[in-house]
């Protein structure tokens, strides 16, 4: 019986094998045709560049239509609208405590959910954080450094003007104020930010990444292709700071890539971004440490690159290419998660949401406690607390706010490393509450016992009023800035051929 | 060229197919032989049982030598020794704050890291939590219910004595005190706890699981085999409580399987395990919710069963069987993690340790804050705080301690669901600190400002002395209990044939 079965199975397998051989033949033939098509694309390039940086993205359209077209789709915000309920959500409206946390810093004016790369310049010009230079004689409130991640005109101008660390070098990129480069910064984040225009090899265009790696004894130029598929993102989606006095842009990576490593770096050089006007705390503002947080999660630890999920492969005709419509991988679960994970899309989506929700629960607590702590610290100072009494409290607030901001500032952190984000937010709550307890004791010493009165900060408007912002005036000026100044920048750039007609 | 290549490849594939067909033939033949061997094992069973529960594990040895031998290896604690530095670590020595948290409850006497199932009875008799009944006239401090998870003598005696909920039914299992069943509970956790002795099908032996599922509208008997591979564990490695007055054992799963769901269940029935003698808080003691925590993590969510990792398949001769040497999957990464994950063992081990470390960081904070809060609450009460003033503080302490205990009480929680454990510990710190702030304000109201003095609880001995435990006396009595009483239990069981000679 067993032997008969064996014979019968043997013939079936033989027949099956024959069918498979035939299909494989067809596949090889098809593969050959595809290769021929790819080779033909590269041999028939229309544009040949001699410079690594070509700022006008349109110049790449003819030779790389698939990449260009998908890149253009970063203008589309329908996924954001579907996911957030609006293409751009006013986060301060949702979370008025954040206005308190960022009091004294431009982020307290305006902070929205992100849109695609094609909106980068437009969003930067209209955000109230860059001020309204030129309106009613307003001066710049930001240095040119603020443009750094906003497009390939940055490396172009760095090369043109020089980008040394010496702020006194006249005309140096870092020497300028933000509005002085308004008519130069006209091409949004695009090809040359990540590719060498001569070869289209991946090549991050910003110096800070190379410098940080060099200080750590590594060479970005020697990174593998898979590493590069993250590093082109990591040149911007990372924690950075402007050196006091020179506004030179640097990454605080010398002691390592964790939240605590960066804090130790900042503590050592005595750095702070601003002094909080309520608690007088020297605050560190975290700047989207997306790459660092991703390294803390299992995907990063397994060598999954940013592009693997945010720029999945597509196929069109005979050509396989990376989708340049960079966005949430949840928008294309079939081409992102499901490349590795065999669960259905809804399960995978719910897995992400569940992790987000758990982080958000602790985030809500952190913002509530920390906002209260800043306000109570002011109350203590107003009621006679000495500098010596406030110093340990301010140390706690600085630690708390750094961990909160680091945890929430980057895109997708709650997915990239849910446990790490939960840990950081937990420590943020912890330090804020230690501060509140210490403040209560200091106040009691100065004769006040009981609950410190907290203002009504239940809406963005109330919170902004509490910290003394005249929002209607800022908004009105911004409208004039957008109507009067920005069009001149665009016009000038077009006249000089720096911005091509689209 | 392409066509030539195709032909050449075709012949290679044909040749390859022939080789594969031959190998497949050999495999099928080998498979047939293996099947024959397995069938022969089942057809030649030496022992045939008419009862589902057979308490003497040795009776299964002849028919299931592989399972029996690997089960016997749960006596081996060399992995625990290597991992923890000792086969049984005194956790209270490592974390003296836990003595404070469990003050007024037997856990403050003795709490060690776990050993294998074969040590279950031995460890239970020697742990100071079960008291020393019969020594110097000491009465029992625990009901018979405490035996529930300690071996197949439990379902045997439940059947013999009856296990109804009526505490007044004379002789009922739940009516007895712990020591009254000392001479019956002699076979450690083994075969009949999880298997129906008649068929060896998986079948959890304890009623609480069936009852909890029934209340939730589900039937354990209809669970799939893969679910059963977790449920046999979940009958014990789960959160449970003893009903006040009857000591009937129940699972608080009616509202769901999360920490907050169980808390809502307990709150609704006004349950507490003990009143904390320092803060007078009605405390919920979490009892190893291992199954619940596992459901919160990605392995549980993907349907990985307990047995998949803790009882990996082995192969011996022609027989594939589950390894009954239940232990940490880290002891056999090649047969556990690497069944699915392709990383090297050291990487996988470090992934686990990293998650554990992040949880431990927050756990350390929770224990420190919560211990301080209990002590400070006592200070407030001693200094005139009213019941009305203490009530909200006690509510916070109950919430804090429940989350802390739930997060740390089960084995492997930091691996099973790292984010969930971090979240729970974060909330524990949060509630404890809210309590400390409230206490400071209450104390200030009653005239005390400044830091509440905290006792030295830097060692287990100091902490136990602080809460008024006479440990030398307890230990001395326990030695006599082990020397004088336990041997009589064993002797009696042997004389009655309930414990076989090994």
User: Could you give phi then psi for residue A90, rounded to 5 degrees?
Assistant: -80, 100
Give the helix/strand (H/E) hosting B432: helix B418-445
Q: Is B361 on the interface with A (CB under 8 A)?
A: yes
**A37, pLDDT greater than 70:** no
Buried b (16+ CB within 10 A) or exposed e, A290-309: bbbbbbbbebbbeebbbbbb
Q: Is A177 helix (H, G, I), strand (E, B) or coil?
A: strand
Q: pLDDT value at position A35?
A: 66
Q: Following DSSP, what letter does each residue of A19-82 receive, concatenated? A: HHHHHHHHHHHHHHHHHHHHHHHHHT-S---SSS----GGGGTTT-HHHHHHHHGGG--HHHHH
Contact list, B2 vs chain A (CB under 8 Å)? 29, 32
Q: pLDDT value at position A310?
A: 98
Q: Is B88 helix (H, G, I), strand (E, B) or coil?
A: coil
Give the helix/strand (H/E) hosting A425: helix A418-445
CB neighbours of A214 closer than 8 A, spacing ≥ 6? none
Alpha-carbon torsion, ordered A423, A429, A432, A434, to 10 deg: -90
Nearest by CB to B13, which of A21, A418, A437?
A: A21
Task: Please answer yes or no on whether A429 and B426 come within 8 Å at the CB atom.
Answer: yes
Buried b (16+ CB within 10 A) or exposed e, B428-447: bbbbbbbbbbbbbbbbbbee
Q: Is B444 on the interface with A (CB under 8 A)?
A: yes
Q: pLDDT value at position A502?
A: 63
Q: Look up residue B138 and give its two tokens.
A: 């000491």
Q: pLDDT value at position A30?
A: 67
Q: Is A358 on the interface with B (CB under 8 A)?
A: yes
CA B490 to the chain's CA centroid: 25
Q: pLDDT value at position A212?
A: 97
Residue of chain B minimizing CA distance to A4:
B29
Q: Which of A28, A419, A429 is the best substitution to test chain B (most B C-beta atoms within 10 A)?
A: A419
Q: pLDDT value at position A87?
A: 87
Task: Please answer yes or no on whether A21 and B2 come within 8 Å at the CB atom.
Answer: no
Per-window interface: A 391-420 vs B, CB < 8 A: 418-420
Contact list, A11 vs chain B (CB under 8 Å)? none
Task: Please answer yes or no on whether B302 and A437 come within 8 Å at the CB atom.
Answer: no
- List the beta bridge partners of residue B274: B283
Nearest by CB to A361, which of B14, B298, B423?
A: B423
CB neighbours of B237 closer than 8 A, spacing ≥ 6? B288, B290, B291, B306, B410, B411
β-pair type (B319-322, B313-316): antiparallel
Q: How far is B297 from chain A (nearest CA, A)?
A: 10
**Nearest alpha carbon to residue A253 among A206, A226, A289:** A289
**Nearest alpha carbon to residue B142 among B166, B154, B157, B124:** B124
Q: Is B2 on the interface with A (CB under 8 A)?
A: yes
Q: Is B356 on the interface with A (CB under 8 A)?
A: no
**CA pair distance B393, B404, nearest whole angstrom:** 16
Q: pLDDT value at position A4?
A: 61
- List the beta bridge partners of residue B454: none
For residue range A342-379, list pLDDT tens digits in order.
Answer: 999 999 999 999 999 999 999 999 999 999 999 999 99
Lowest mean pLDDT among A118-122, A255-259, A404-408, B3-7: B3-7
Q: pLDDT value at position B82?
A: 86
Number of neighbouring beta carbons within 10 Å of residue B18: 13
Q: pLDDT value at position B11?
A: 78
Q: Is B445 on the interface with A (CB under 8 A)?
A: yes
Lowest mean pLDDT among A312-321, A413-422, B450-459: A312-321
Task: Please answer yes or no on whether A358 and B425 come within 8 Å at the CB atom.
Answer: no
Task: Please answer yes or no on whether A440 and B436 come within 8 Å at the CB atom.
Answer: no
Contact list, B355 vs chain A (CB under 8 Å)? 419
Buried b (16+ CB within 10 A) or exposed e, A260-269: eebbebbbee
H runs (alpha helix) in B298-344: 298-301, 306-310
Q: What's the pTM?
A: 0.92
H runs (alpha helix) in A44-200: 65-72, 78-84, 91-94, 97-101, 120-126, 153-161, 191-194
- List the beta bridge partners of residue A313: A322
Q: pLDDT value at position A501?
A: 77
Q: Is A468 helix (H, G, I), strand (E, B) or coil?
A: coil
Q: Is B349 on the interface with A (CB under 8 A)?
A: no
Task: Please answer yes or no on whether B436 and A437 come within 8 Å at the CB atom.
Answer: yes
CB B278 within 8 A of CB B268: no
Task: Please answer yes or no on whether B29 and A355 come within 8 Å at the CB atom.
Answer: no
Residue of chain A minimizing CA distance to B420:
A358
Q: Could you tell me the pLDDT band of residue A2, with boundaries at 50, 70 and 90? A: low
**CA pair distance A465, A99, nearest whole angstrom:** 10
**CA pair distance A65, A54, nearest whole angstrom:** 16
Q: pLDDT value at position A90?
A: 96
Residue B228 Cα distances to A183, A372, B26, B57, B253, angstroms: 69, 50, 35, 20, 18
pLDDT tens-digit profile, chain B (502 residues): 555 656 677 778 778 888 887 888 777 776 666 666 666 666 777 888 999 999 999 999 999 999 999 999 999 988 888 888 888 999 999 999 999 999 999 999 999 999 999 999 999 999 999 999 999 999 999 999 999 999 999 999 999 998 876 656 777 899 899 999 999 999 999 999 999 999 999 999 999 999 999 999 999 999 999 999 999 999 999 999 999 988 999 999 999 999 999 999 999 999 999 999 999 999 999 999 999 999 999 999 999 999 999 999 999 888 899 999 999 999 999 999 999 999 999 999 999 999 999 999 999 999 999 999 999 999 999 999 999 999 999 999 999 999 999 999 999 999 999 999 999 999 999 999 999 999 999 999 999 999 999 999 999 999 999 999 999 999 999 999 999 999 999 999 999 999 997 6
CB A413 within 8 A of CB A407: yes
Q: pLDDT value at position B64?
A: 95
**Nearest alpha carbon to residue A63 among A46, A78, A38, A81:** A46
Question: What average pLDDT does chain A have?
Answer: 93
Task: Please answer yes or no on whether B450 and A437 come within 8 Å at the CB atom.
Answer: no
Report ipTM (2 d.p.).
0.91
Task: Please answer yes or no on whether B445 and A440 come within 8 Å at the CB atom.
Answer: no
């Amino acid at each position: 019986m067993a032997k008969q079965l064996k014979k019968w199975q043997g013939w079936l397998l033989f027949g099956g094998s024959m069918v498979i051989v035939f299909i494989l033949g067809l596949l090889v033939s098809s593969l050959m045709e595809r290769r021929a098509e790819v080779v033909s694309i590269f041999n028939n390039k229309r544009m040949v560049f001699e410079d690594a940086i070509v700022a006008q993205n349109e110049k790449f359209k003819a030779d790389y239509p698939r990449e260009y077209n998908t890149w253009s789709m970063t203008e589309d915000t329908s996924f954001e609208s579907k996911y957030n309920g609006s293409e751009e959500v006013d986060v301060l409206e949702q979370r008025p405590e954040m206005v308190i946390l960022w009091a004294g810093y431009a982020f307290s004016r305006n902070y929205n959910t992100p849109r695609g790369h094609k909106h980068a310049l437009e969003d930067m010009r209209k955000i109230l954080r860059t001020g309204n230079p030129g309106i009613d004689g307003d001066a710049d409130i930001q240095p040119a450094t603020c443009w750094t991640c906003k497009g390939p005109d940055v490396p172009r101008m760095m090369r043109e003007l020089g980008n040394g660390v010496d702020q006194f070098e006249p005309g140096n990129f870092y020497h300028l104020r933000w509005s002085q480069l308004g008519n130069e910064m006209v091409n949004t984040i695009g090809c040359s930010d990540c590719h060498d225009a001569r070869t289209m090899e991946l090549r991050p265009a910003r110096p800070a990444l190379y410098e940080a790696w060099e200080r750590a004894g590594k060479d970005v130029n020697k990174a593998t292709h898979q590493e590069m598929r993250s590093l082109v993102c990591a040149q911007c989606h990372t924690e950075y700071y402007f050196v006091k006095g020179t506004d030179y842009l640097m990454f605080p990576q010398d002691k390592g890539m964790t939240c605590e490593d960066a804090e130790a770096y900042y503590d050592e050089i005595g750095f702070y971004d601003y002094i909080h006007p309520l608690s007088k705390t020297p605050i560190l503002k975290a700047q989207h440490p997306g790459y660092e947080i991703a390294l803390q999660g299992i995907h990063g630890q397994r060598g999954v690159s940013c592009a693997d999920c945010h720029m999945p492969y597509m196929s069109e005709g005979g050509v396989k290419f990376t989708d340049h419509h960079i966005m949430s991988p949840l928008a294309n679960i079939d081409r992102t998660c499901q490349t590795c994970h065999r669960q259905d899309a809804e399960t995978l989506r719910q897995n992400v949401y569940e992790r987000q929700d758990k982080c958000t629960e602790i985030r809500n607590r952190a913002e509530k406690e920390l906002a209260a702590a800043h306000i109570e610290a002011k109350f203590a100072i107003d009621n006679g607390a000495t500098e010596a009494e406030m110093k340990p409290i301010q140390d706690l607030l600085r630690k708390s706010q750094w961990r909160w901001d680091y945890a929430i500032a980057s895109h997708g952190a709650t997915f990239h490393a849910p446990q790490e984000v939960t840990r950081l937010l937990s420590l943020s709550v912890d330090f804020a509450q230690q501060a509140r307890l210490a403040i209560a004791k200091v106040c009691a010493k100065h004769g006040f016992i009981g609950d410190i009165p907290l203002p009504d900060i239940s809406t963005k408007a109330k919170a902004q009023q509490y910290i003394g912002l005249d929002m209607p005036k800022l908004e009105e000026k911004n409208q004039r800035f957008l109507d009067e100044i920005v069009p001149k920048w665009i016009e000038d750039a077009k006249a000089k051929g720096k911005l091509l007609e689209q």
